[in-house]
Structure 1
Amino acid sequence: MARIALCQVNSGDDPEANLKLVHDGVETAVAGGARIVVFPEATMARFGRPLAPVAEALDGPWATAVAATAAEHDVVVVAGMFTPAGDGRVRNTLLITGGGHHRGYDKIHLYDAFGFAESDTVAPGTTPVTFEHDGIVFGVATCYDVRFPELFRALADDGADVVLLPTSWGAGEGKRDQWEVLVRARALDSGCWVLGCGQSDPAATGVSANPKAPTGIGYSTVADGFGRVVAQAGAAPEVLLVDVDPAVSAQARTATGALANRRL
């Protein structure tokens, strides 16, 4: 069993100011007993601003500061940041730090959809990532990745019972419905717990945001391997705590046969 905190926040334009969101979120999560603390995609700096000027390597000051917070509280922190890609673009990276880990996952599927072209400024990753903590294997995925079941099945094949899914979901008609359906569907596809941690809705807290950029809708959602919604946040900033039992993943895979009965 693992207690995981989803810290649904509104990140702003300034990476330094967003470090305070991380520090405060970790303190709240640890007070609630969390061992893993998850923040949204683009926690370092929100979409809708130039990303190349803020991108840093995983050994740069921003990731190092997050690592120090994780070490101070003896937790694993997963948070969205941007790293240089080397071609003038950046990579949309999930930082995984604490508990002996300090590594990144580069978002594989880029959000070239609904009139937004993430690939103009972001280079894609290529490699799925898992890590182990407290005897549980975790996979990671980012936002638009949730539309691609193959990734979640690959993470399950690599031993993951839980997938952490930071996101900065784009607003629009039907988008919340799609978000909830996709989180539940990927849980059913893979038999994994899927924990989607989103940026909160700027409108819910009166924060101004670029209306053309995917800056969040809130509604962080947790589904187990049977596709059941176990916990969900509202639209505003919130720390959502959930206890995850990896045995449920094994039960779901046995019951549905969704992995064992594959033919393609």
Structure 2
Amino acid sequence: MTARRNFKRQVRARAAKTGESYTSALRHFRPTPPGDVMPEANNPKSLRLAVAQTPLRDDPRDIEALRQSGREVRALMRDASAQGARVVHFPEGAICFPDKLVLSVDGPETVGPADWDRCQWPVLQTELAAIAELARELRLWTVMASAHRLTGPNRPHNSLYVISDRGEVVTRYDERRLSKTKVSYMYSPGTAPVTFDVDGVRFGCLLGMEIHYPELFAEYEKLKVDCVLFSTTGVSPGNAAAQAQGHAAVNSYWVSFSVPAQHSATAPSGIVAPNGDWLERCSADGSSSIAVVDLDDSSEAAAESVTHARPWRREARAGIHTERQVTDPRSEDRTAAF
């Protein structure tokens, strides 16, 4: 560990002296062999991302609460824009996370099938439209969670809307791995991963309890995303935050972790680098806030993961080990002597 720290110190010292990025300075110490140039090193990417945390409100019948959530979301959008963000990412329930007992036809003491007619859909749609309009005014890509209404009697999806800097919904991710309560009583599950690109940076979306499904994060690595946007209401937030770090490190991409402000004392929203380190986190005092990070391939937190670990893992998964397997009697005999 000491040798590794000394090595990084030398790289940083050269970068400070020459004005190079950390990645460029790293190549001085460990040059890439001819003919073995990593593709990510030739196409550096950079984009400023803001992740938000907002108060959780759980009664979709409460018109004023829905409107207050919309105002708070738009205030954070303006804050993100003022700090130069290109994309802002909000938690599950940013406008409302409908409570299972509030909607239950057997409630308020017993969980039962959700009566979605109790939801103030016109107010919710008005707030989402206002958010889309502000995204257009600010030229700010906005990733916003909400229930997505389907044709009756189908239950809605639990979704992430991707609103472009033109104020248009360009795609929508629907949660696929729902909790038992969600899938039994409240929502229709989604069917597919969703990606979108902004300024050459590719994003994937996950939602709710999907932090517990590593195969979904691996799926996005195969789709060559640079960052996964994960929104949740909490799912044991401390544990979920640790899992976000693990998924980022294992897949060598950024993970944006967005949760309600109520969880900020133990697990505030934040952004994890491809090496598994937290780069920035929101306030830990329960308030609405954002954290802003440059997703930069040349940063120290990303350089080794993006330019070396990620390409090598893709090459390994593509079959390089299978191609080099050998047939040998001493390999086949598992009881062969030393």
**Aligning the two structures, in what range does the TM-score lie when normalised by the shorter sequence?**
0.7 to 0.9
**How far, CA to CA, are the matches of 2:120 and 2:213 in structure 1?**
26
The within-5 A match list for 1:20-39 is: 20-39=71-90
Structure 2: gaps of 5 or more residues: 1-45, 60-64, 104-113, 320-338
The within-5 A match list for 1:28-177 is: 28-48=79-99, 49-50=102-103, 52=116, 53-54=118-119, 60-86=125-151, 87-100=153-166, 101-102=168-169, 103-112=171-180, 117-119=181-183, 120-170=185-235, 175-177=236-238
- May I ask how many residue pairs the two structures share in their alignment? 243
For the residue of structure 1 that corresponds to 2:55, the secondary structure is coil
Q: Which protein is bigger by CA-based radius of gyration?
A: 2
1:37-95 CA distances to partner (integer Å, 9 max, x unpaired)?
Answer: 111111121242437243859x9434322210100110001111001244442211101
1:8 aligns with 2:58: no
Change (3 A) 1:231 1:28: same
Answer whether contact 2:51 2:271 (CA < 8 A) is retained: no
**How far, CA to CA, are the matches of 1:105 and 1:75 in structure 2?**
19
1:214 maps to what in 2? none
Structure 1: gaps of 5 or more residues: 205-216
1:221 to 255, 263, 270: 270
- Which moves more between the two structures, 185-194 or 126-135? 185-194
Change (3 A) 1:246 1:138: farther
Change (3 A) 1:259 1:185: farther
2:328 maps to what in 1? none
CA RMSD between the two structures: 2.7
Change (3 A) 1:105 1:199: same
1:188-235 CA distances to partner (integer Å, 9 max, x unpaired)?
Answer: 23221001011111797xxxxxxxxxxxx6511321112122222325
2:316 maps to what in 1? 261
Structure with bigger helix share is 2
1:236 maps to amino acid: G
**How far, CA to CA, are the matches of 2:269 and 2:264 in structure 1?**
16
1:8-37 CA distances to partner (integer Å, 9 max, x unpaired)?
Answer: 110323332221111111011111111111
Q: TM-score, normalised by structure 2?
A: 0.65
